[in-house]
Amino acid sequence: MFIHETKVRVRYGETDQMGFVYYGNYAEYLEVARVEALRSLGFPYKRLEEEGVMLPVHDLHVTYHRPAGYDDILTVRARITSMPGVRIVFAYEVLNEENVLLTEASTTLVFVDRATKRPRRAPQALLDRLGSYFI
């Protein structure tokens, strides 16, 4: 299993009238964690796109346990729990500074050929890089 953690500070504009992070902003936090996780593997989105690979989100599932608030520093833990094929699934945990679980989520993304707009397998170089995490 591959795991990567990213820190995110909650900005004022991301909170609602109650002072909590607006629920829709969690999708952006997950995206930041996902992008940074792939970057840490040597596969920033820019590289994938230059190689003709797009990664649209197929689905998003979120469970909110506790709220986060303005100026909180959140840890977004992104995990890839199985080798990708045509799809790659990320599981997430969002924790506060006290290491309390605030949110759990998952996203499924599909590898798509930029030219044909058709699903394709994950790039072999990415599979090779992830291989050591799934022995």
Q: What is the C-alpha separation between 30 and 18, in angstroms, rounded?
A: 22
| Distance in angstroms (rounded) separating the CA atoms of residues 111 and 121 | 6
Q: Average pLDDT for residues 77-90, to the nearest whole number?
A: 97
Give the total number of structural domains in the chain: 1
Range of the domain at 28: 2-134
> pLDDT tens digits for 7-60?
999 999 999 999 999 999 999 999 999 999 999 999 999 999 999 999 999 999
pLDDT at residue 135, as a whole number: 79
pLDDT tens for each residue of 86-117: 999 999 999 999 999 999 999 999 999 999 99
Query: What CATH number should be reported for the domain holding residue 109?
Result: 3.10.129.10
Model confidence pTM above 0.85: yes
Contacts of 21 (CB under 8 A, 6+ apart): 10, 14, 15, 67, 68, 69, 72
CA distance 102 to 119: 33
User: Which residues 6+ apart lie within 8 Å of 50 measured at CB?
Assistant: none
